Amino acid sequence: MRSLPNARLVPSVQDYIDEQPAWADGTAVSTAPMTAMQWRIWSLAAAGKFFEGFVVFMTGVALPLISREFGIGAAQNGLVTAATLFGILIGAIVLGGLADHFGRKRMFVVEMIIFVVFLTMVTLANNVVVLICSLFGLGLALGCDYPTAHLIISENIASTSRGRLVLGAFAFQAVGALAGTGVGFLVLRHNPTIEAWRWMFATALIPAIAVTIGRFSIIESANWLWSRGELLPAERAVSRLLLRQPRYPSSVALEVPHERHLDLHRGSRLAALFSDPHNRRATILASVPWFLQDLATYGIGIFTPTILAVAFGSPIDHVRSTADIITDDILAAKGSAAISSLLILGILCAVLLADRVGRIKLQIAGFIGCAAGLFLAALSTSFAGHTQIALIFAGFMLFDFMTNLGPNAQTYLLAGEVFPTPIRGVGAGFAAAFAKLGAVLTAFLFPILLTGIGTRALLGLLIVASLLGALVTWLFRIETNGVKLDRIGIGPGA
């Protein structure tokens, strides 16, 4: 086979990555095979998303035991559940934005070191203050991972398969959520003590150390190096990224980046999100729908075990002992694991459809589907017995499926695509931080509102938020399906 001639006299990094081989008679091959380096980058990024789902959603299973051990009430429970989410908020905008300055790889490694340190502290926490601070530290690492994991994949992958590979890695968040509730259940079965929650978190330590070591072995993003004008390092990175047999391209020679790239590197990256019309539109699209989506997803996800415990048995109304708490917690973990399985099915459908249907259509349809699921759950409050349980299950399962098909997947995907390369880290980080503001508010206020205004009214507010998310997506839509990342936000002459 030979390489197809490129229309550009001097190709960019993305042109080399997107280049497809052809047979000697000119017949094009549909796709270029992924290299070993590309698969390594993808798998290490997927592991980071797994840890996020694992830690955040397992907190819902661990919370009753934590509450019992440290003797804390509803407000402090809210702080425990909100600590990780607040850390994600800070980590996304502060640490994630540093990926534009220090590079994707460096922050990709640093975040895992932070994760391992604070995960160890969580397992050893001897009071609630240390626990909250440790969970916040975990959130810092996970927040940094939001932009860096996306960028490290998308800037090293062909444009035609970017959507499904980014979302394929993101799917491991749902796998982690299911694993978190599953591990919580297994630990409780084999170690039914008040300190079982420590072993739940400890199970992630050895895998996290292995992933940290693995991340040292990847390359720096050639797209990022190129956008800074570092042509020789970028050329070497492209050569390592695309190393395969038979080798193509045989040599790499890059063009000088557009002056707009260099200007964005020189100026204030955060200010650039709002000063330019394209960047401002991209910021609204990336941030507001994600915020509205997280209002529902994290509130429902974290407190699903509590809401659904009744569906798998008769929980004990008046807790008298540690055994009562563990019994209720095992029932809750079963219900949460059953419904979380729909998260995985939803994200698998998103992986299959993102590069075919497009991001915007899926996000709008997903928001509307979430509203329908929440409506069924709210309707359940008018019934009792088996009908109520059936409506709760149908509503939550529809919600979990549609949120991962649509907004939970597509907001993450769009946030790492709609910004120019020099400010992609800070743009995606800002969007993730703004979204996690909604998650933090939900995690803290959800148990209070659940008691204050009731389940039906609370679900009604979440229905409005979902419909508003669909509207904002449509008004500020930017479709990125198949678009080359190094052309976004620079102009047609780039």
Least confident range from 5-19, 60-74, 367-381: namely 5-19
Residue 2 buriedness (CB in 10 A; 0-12 / 13-18 / 19+): exposed
What's the Cα-to-Cα distance from 402 to each of 14, 65, 268, 291, 297, rounded to whole Å? 32, 31, 37, 16, 11
Query: Exposed e or buried b for every residue in 460-493, given b needs 16+ CB within 10 A?
Result: eebbebbebbbebbeebbbebbeebbbbbbbeee
pLDDT value, residue 308: 54
Which is more confident, 419 or 381?
419
Per-residue model confidence as pLDDT tens digits over 209-255: 999 999 999 999 999 999 888 999 999 999 999 998 877 787 888 88
pLDDT category at 483 given cuts 50, 70, 90 is: confident
pLDDT category at 24 given cuts 50, 70, 90 is: confident
DSSP state of 477: -
What's the Cα-to-Cα distance from 305 to each of 198, 302, 404, rounded to whole Å? 19, 7, 19
pLDDT value, residue 336: 54
Which pair of structure tokens corresponds to residue 7? 């229309």
Mean pLDDT of the 294-300 span: 76
pLDDT category at 61 given cuts 50, 70, 90 is: confident
Which is more confident, 308 or 188?
188
Q: How far apart are CA 387 and CA 167, in angstroms?
A: 35
76-85, 446-455, 474-483 — which one is most confidently predicted on average? 474-483
Q: What is the mean pLDDT of the chain?
A: 83
Q: Peptide bond before 447: cis, by omega within 30 degrees of 0?
A: no
Quick check: 190 pLDDT over 70?
yes
62-66, 288-292, 419-423, 454-458 — which one is most confidently predicted on average? 288-292
Of all residues in the chain, what percent are helix, strand and coil, respectively (each to 5)? 75, 0, 20
Angle at 282 between CA 425 and CA 91, to 5 degrees: 30
Share of the chain above pLDDT 90, in %: 40
Least confident range from 8-12, 20-24, 164-168, 276-280: namely 8-12
Domain ranges of the chain: 36-243+254-313+320-487
DSSP state of 482: T
Mean pLDDT of the 244-269 span: 75
pLDDT value, residue 304: 58
CB of 339 closer than 8 Å to CB of 400: yes
pLDDT value, residue 236: 93
pLDDT value, residue 9: 58
Which is more confident, 371 or 68?
371
261-270, 360-369, 440-449 — which one is most confidently predicted on average? 360-369
Q: 492 by DSSP, 3-state: which? A: coil
Per-residue model confidence as pLDDT tens digits over 306-327: 555 544 444 444 444 444 445 5
Per-residue model confidence as pLDDT tens digits over 379-396: 877 777 778 778 877 888
pLDDT value, residue 220: 96
pTM: 0.83
pLDDT value, residue 53: 85
DSSP state of 22: E
List 22's β-bridge partners, or say none.
2, 28
Which pair of structure tokens corresponds to residue 389? 């349980």
What CATH class does 36-243+254-313+320-487 carry? Answer: mainly alpha
Helices (H) and strands (E) in the chain, counts: 20, 2
